[in-house]
Amino acid sequence: MNDVAVFVQVVRSGSFAETARRLGIPPNTLSRRVQQLEARLGTRLMQRSTRKLSLTNAGQDFYDRCASAVETLGDAGQALMSGNEVPSGLVRVAAPAEFFDFFPMECLADFLAKHPLVRVDFVLSDARADLIADRIDVAIRGGVLEDSGLFARQVLDAGLDGLVASPAYLSARGAPATLQDLAKHDCLVFAHPSGRATWRLSARDGADTEVQVAGRFSGNTSQALRKAALAGLGIALLPAAITRRELSAGSLLPVLPQFHRRGHGVHLVYASRRHLPSAVSAFIELVADKFGELSDTAAKP
């Protein structure tokens, strides 16, 4: 039965190396276990090459027959252990470079105090991490998600992006009265060699308008544009979730508030929602709960 379970895991992960990483068993041991299973069954289950594994017809039929049974047995064991399992071990997290500019470090401190056997390793970068190759347990991603086999849990809804600027900028340059007036202003845009961008904005009646904007400052993250807006460098189009504090404090002011852009939200992305280590599950719930609070706060007038 153990060899059958190993076979199922190898098929699901697509390689002996990845299965070895997940199970903590040397790849040669896994290969030998599958060979022993093939010897007992008297048939070849897999075709092996240096690049990939492929199932024989017999292997596919055997996998189809036994995979659900192996999963059921695993679920039964997990259910019995889950009540007594204490979260422990390392959780590797991929997040945007400026993640802790809007996620309170105090929440992570409380989490680690509550789970003293857990360690958290953050990989902070605006580059999109490869969860398998980089050994990432969970990634925190904003924007449009790629179509992949990964599981994604939305923790912050799309919300609305709005135009904002500092009081100093509006005092010096005046507030635009129409969208067309934005062409006369310094607008803070995502980095592009031309320094220009096209903003597609919706009015309250649902009508969409495109406007060409430009400015002398551009950046590749929303947080960089937020800081530039606070410094009085221009008008930015930013998610409400990252400007709510400044708008409440008056350090940023809304510009043309009758126009907005639909955002993309924030997701937690991980390889599977089944058989997650308890430490990873606990971390996911922490982030989901905190982003839920952020969403509730942003929704309040």
* Summary count for the chain: helices (H), strands (E): 9, 15
209 DSSP 8-state letter: E
pLDDT (tens, 9 = 90+) of the chain, 301 residues, equals 678 888 888 888 778 888 888 777 888 888 888 888 888 888 888 887 656 778 888 888 888 888 878 777 766 555 555 545 688 889 999 998 878 877 889 999 999 999 999 999 999 987 788 887 888 999 998 766 665 667 888 877 766 789 999 999 999 999 999 999 999 999 999 877 777 899 999 988 778 899 999 999 998 888 889 999 999 999 999 988 788 889 999 999 999 999 998 876 788 888 776 667 889 999 999 998 888 776 555 444 4
Contacts of 141 (CB under 8 A, 6+ apart): 128, 152, 266, 267, 268, 269
* Confidence at residue 299, expressed as pLDDT on a 0 to 100 scale: 47
Q: Which of 3, 149, 22 minimizes the C-alpha distance to 66? A: 3
Domain range annotation of the chain:
2-82, 89-156+265-299, 160-262
Domains 89-156+265-299 and 160-262 equal at CATH topology level: yes
Q: Which of 263, 188, 196, 254 minimizes the C-alpha distance to 226? A: 188
Phi first, then psi, for residue 208 (nearest 5°) are -100, 145
Fold exhibited by the domain 2-82 = Arc Repressor Mutant, subunit A (1.10.10)
Rounded distance between C-alpha atoms, residue 192 and residue 196, angstroms: 7
Q: CATH number of the domain at 89-156+265-299, please?
A: 3.40.190.10
3-class SS letters over 90-101: EEEEEECCCHHH
* Confidence at residue 242, expressed as pLDDT on a 0 to 100 scale: 81
Structure-block tokens of residue 6: 């190993």
Structure-block tokens of residue 281: 């599950």
Structure-block tokens of residue 43: 């048939």
Q: CATH number of the domain at 160-262, please?
A: 3.40.190.290
* Confidence at residue 301, expressed as pLDDT on a 0 to 100 scale: 43
Q: Which of 209, 233, 199, 205 minimizes the C-alpha distance to 219? A: 233
**Pairing state between β 266-270 and 138-142:** antiparallel
